[in-house]
Structure 1
Amino acid sequence: MSSVNTAIQLITREQAEKGAAAKGGTCSPALAKGPWDYDLAEALAGVPAYGPGASSADPAPASTPRQGQLPDEYKLASDAELGERIKAAKATLGDRAVILGHFYQRDEVIQYADFVGDSFQLANAALTRPEAEAIIFCGVHFMAETADILSTPEQAVILPNLAAGCSMADMADADSVEECWEQLEEIFGTEPDAGGRVPVIPVTYMNSSAALKAFCGEHGGIVCTSSNARTVLEWAFQRGQRVLFFPDQHLGRNTAKALGVSLDQMPMWNPRKDLGGNDQQALLDSRVILWHGFCSVHKRFSVAQIEKARADFPGVQVIVHPECPMEVVDAADSAGSTDFIKKAIAAATGPTTFAIGTEINMVNRLAAEYPQHTIFCLDPVICPCSTMYRIHPGYLAWVLEELVAGRVVNRITVDHNVQANARTALERMLAARP
């Protein structure tokens, strides 16, 4: 099976030749270009953006990191040449460097990864390589921050393309969350109830900045992943009367609903509105206050797509990520993290048809890994994560060869004070057991 990048190149070429969309198509022909074209466009415009793909319509904050220009030798190199240069640099560096590849990365990058997994799996994988002087994180910015928090001070965490951010993570910034917290304290006060539960506990999804993890650590809160969100919410309810959950509304809603929290007890907090767009009583009656954030990849999946999959493939197993909207999760056969999806497919004993609601690169890779099954993405349009797609073998070759030359580029560092509070929130998550 060809890679997602190869499919996009072919579709774009066919569209150019025929003047019409190929079957299924891609959400943006610009995906066929090198990410360095987006870097240059942002530099010329003076305005950051997430680039083509699922998050292309999401406004990027002015503070969004931007990548400088990649040297021409990497832009002009063929895939084969880049591969040889990456392999040679890896061989030279040996145990001094470890490459981490997220499930959503393009195959052309994943093939060089020493570890493949979700964000927290990869951060922990890096801990198994204490001899590594450099951790090259082929993922997005918040993941590299988490790796820096958990790694040793002597280790350098490198993000091959600084523009690989996350629109969902950017939907909750530290100033907005602080302002929200102050308004909630005015309404709820700060005194615990008779059972010792404080008025509100902050819970941040792993897909958030180090500053927000630190906020949770400082205010008695905790971090969650998509695989342990239920356990973390149960932990929070034992200690708080209600939860402020950010930045992903869908993971918060789906998890709380599964715990029996009614929808009318889950008001949405829109940071652009007074009291988040709520009246005071709705907040007083709440159990979970959901931040107005979402993943643009998982927002693309719909009930209509599930209905079509069931019509086209009777008996199909539909598995979606819990970042999908509630109605999509309800219509699916099961929902879970990227690791859950991978394990569910691996556990299937006989040939099975799976329709998967998560990022296309992972779905495509699962289809190639398990050819005995029929595996396809619910969304027929090839539309990868915009920011994951900013990582390209050219950037990987560049950062590796710079390391060989004794130079560390694109290092991601988290302030010491932020690290301490963020680590507290992460340690609470690790200590929370089902």
Structure 2
Amino acid sequence: MTTSASVDLTIRDISSGAARGSTCSTTLLEAPWDVDAGPSTYGPGASQADPLPTGSPRQGQIPEAYRTASREELDARIRAAKAQLGERVVVLGHFYQRDEVVQYADYVGDSFQLATAAKARRDAEAIVFCGVHFMAETADLLSAPEQAVILPNLAAGCSMADMADIDQVEECWEQLMEVYGEEPDADGLAPIIPVTYMNSAADLKGFVGRHGGIVCTSSNARTVLDWAFARGRRVLFFPDQHLGRNTAKAMGIGLEQMPLWNPRRPLGGNDERTLQDAKVVLWHGFCSVHKRFTTAQIDQARAEHPDVRVIVHPECPMPVVDAADEAGSTDYIRKAIEAAEEPTTFAIGTEINLVQRLAAQHPQHTIFCLDPVVCPCSTMYRIHPGYLAWVLESLLEGEVINRITVGQDVAEPARLALERMLAAKPGAAPVDAEAPAPGKQAAGARP
């Protein structure tokens, strides 16, 4: 496999026979605008088999000049537009973006880090978010009202975020209220507190804000669950079951106290006794990127590299997290590699764009993705330099393309839920709020 940070080049090398390896889709080489013009899917990559909800945003065709431009021409146009716009625009790039897009970002990070960066750049008229839809919504929630948040490709959604919609969650809540009632108990604790992962639509953040709940990230999920249990007997955690399960298990909560809620079944497929005994009700959602990682891949990595250090994202299934040496957020993974002083072999369980970029940035280490099949995030892959050039040059012409806005009726309670998250402080229990110092493991890591 190529040692380039570019997953695009890796896929091209594999397809041409210039490099060994395999990809999960023969259509990964297609331009995103060709994918947009086809059937309604998330596109090639990890989420290609996930059902796309009816009514999901479609991008539509962009001008031919951007579709036919060479890489070199797009590079020149993007750099020229950024230079002319100056401080008027800030470009944000998620860790999982292709290298051909990340190179233009003023800030690179996870979804919450980038939303925080947007909040700090009050001088920018426009925030171009090279990520996915829920991230742009969060940036709009945290930025100033006069700032325009732009998503270069409207089809860049998130299959996990789409696995819980507002109608399903409200129906779930109604059923849970019928089981638990709505009144606090003798200790003043609510029967259940809703917690939504950052990877969710703004209206779900608004839902938890209205119902006394809170937002979490992959790095502060334990702190947030501590906050929720200080206020309620139980937690409804959505949309990612794996982050919820892995975090709750690390807190000592038994698996029998974590029933799964299937929104297509009455009571989520549970009986009332199971729900009464529950501590964490987990939504039936998952990340298709992190679902690809397996314990067999970890076994293979250990067989080939006996001294390997395996770090996976907490969105991975529980057996994978249990088999790994450590589990932590994308930023945790990045910082753990940066902190390694001696040459180390790392097997990483997260999205391939970040893994290859880390491998290129740290040649003193051996860094590889646990999944041998090159399979990027389908929706992150929808952002392409052609779309970035289009929205930037449109700004030069005084036109705001693909602005993402959250209505005030949703924005107010959603901001409240985010503010609760920011105010929640780690308790006595360890928490992966930051990457640990060298030698210290994340919460839930193997001793």
Name the TM tier (shorter chain): over 0.9
Please provide the CA RMSD for this pair. 0.8
Cα deviation, 1:77-123, whole Å, max 9, x if unaligned, reads 11110000000000110000000000000000000000000000000
Which range moves more in the overlay, 347-356 or 59-68? 59-68
Deviation at 1:9, TM superposition (A): 1.4
Letter in 2 for 1:275: L
Q: 1:68 corresponds to which residue? A: 60
Report the residue type matching 1:212 in the other structure.
L
Query: What is the aligned counterpart of 1:39 among 36, 39, 50?
Result: 36
Specify the alignment match of 1:187 in structure 2: 179
Deviation of residue 13 (structure 1)? 2.6
Match of 2:14 in 1: 11
Separation in 2, partners of 1:347, 1:63: 45
Task: String of CA shifts for 1:154-200, please: whole Å, max 9, x gaps.
Answer: 00000000000000000000000000000000000011111110000
Bigger fraction of residues in helix:
1
Give the match for residue 200 of structure 2.
208
Cα offset, 1:374, TM superposition: 0.2
259, 262, 273: which is aligned to 2:265? 273
- Supply the distance in 2 between the matched residues of 1:258 and 1:402 (Cα, whole angstroms): 48
- Give the C-alpha shift of residue 23 in structure 1: 3.4
Shift of 1:63: 2.2
The residue identity in structure 1 corresponding to 2:10 is A
Tell me how far 1:70 sits from its aligned partner.
1.4
Q: Percent identity?
A: 72
TM-score relative to the length of structure 2: 0.94
Aligned to 2:353: 361
How much has 1:214 moved relative to structure 2?
A: 0.2
Q: In the alignment, residue 279 of structure 1 is paired with which amino acid? A: D
What is the alpha-carbon distance in structure 2 between the residues aligned to residue 394 and residue 127 of structure 1?
26
Letter in 1 for 2:28: L
CA distance in 1, matches of 2:120, 2:141: 15
For residues 220 and 63 of structure 1, what CA distance do their matches in structure 2 show?
A: 30
1:373-392 map, 5 Å: 373-392=365-384
**1:36 corresponds to which letter in structure 2?**
W
Aligned equivalent of 2:441 = none
Which of 201, 212, 225 is the matching residue for 1:220? 212
Per-residue CA deviation, residues 293-323 of structure 1 (Å, 9 max, x unaligned), is 0000000000000000000001100000000
One-letter identity of the residue aligned with 1:30: T
What residue number does 2:445 align with? none
8 A Cα contact 1:98 1:136, kept in partner:
yes
Contact 1:268 1:289 (C-alpha < 8 Å) held by counterparts:
yes
Query: Structure 2: which amino acid aligns with 1:302?
Result: T
Which residue pairs with 2:362 in the alignment? 370
CA contact (8 A) 1:8 1:29 kept: no
Within 2, Cα distance between the matches of 1:229 and 1:193?
A: 25
Structure 2 residue aligned with 1:30: 27
Query: Structure 2 CA distance, aligned partners of 1:245 and 1:85?
Result: 44
1:305 aligns with 2:297: yes
Query: Which residue does 1:45 correspond to in 2?
Result: none
How many aligned positions are there? 423
State which of 129, 138, 148 in structure 1 corresponds to 2:130: 138
Map residues 84-99 of structure 1 onto 2, 5 A cutoff: 84-99=76-91
In structure 1, C-alpha distance between the alignment counterparts of 2:303 and 2:372, rounded to whole Å: 15
Q: Distance in 1 between matches of 2:412 and 2:318?
A: 35
Residue aligned with 2:160, SS = helix
Q: Give the unaligned 5+ runs of structure 1.
A: 16-21, 43-47
* Counterpart amino acid of residue 222 in structure 2: R
Distance 2:315 2:175 in 1: 27
Describe the SS at the equivalent of 1:264.
Answer: helix
Amino acid of the structure 2 residue aligned with 1:8: I
For structure 2, list consecutive stretches of 5 or more residues without a partner in the other structure. 427-447
How far 1:12 sits from its partner (Å)? 2.0
State the distance in 2 between where 1:32 and 1:6 align. 10
The one-character-per-residue Cα deviations of 1:3-49 (angstroms, maximum 9, x if unpaired) are 1001111222339xxxxxx732100120111000011114xxxxx21
In structure 1, C-alpha distance between the alignment counterparts of 2:137 and 2:15, rounded to whole Å:
35
For 1:155, which of 137, 142, 147 is the aligned residue?
A: 147
1:103-142 aligned within 5 A: 103-142=95-134
- Equivalent residue for 1:327, pick from 312, 315, 319: 319
Counterpart for residue 422 of structure 1: 414
- 2:431 aligns to what? none
Matched, 1:245 2:237: yes
In the other structure, the counterpart of 1:18 is: none
Asked if the contact 1:266–1:288 (Cα under 8 Å) also holds between the matched residues in 2, the reply is yes
Distance (whole Å) between structure 1 residues aligned to residue 265 and residue 307 of structure 2: 45
Give the alignment's TM-score, normalised by structure 1.
0.97
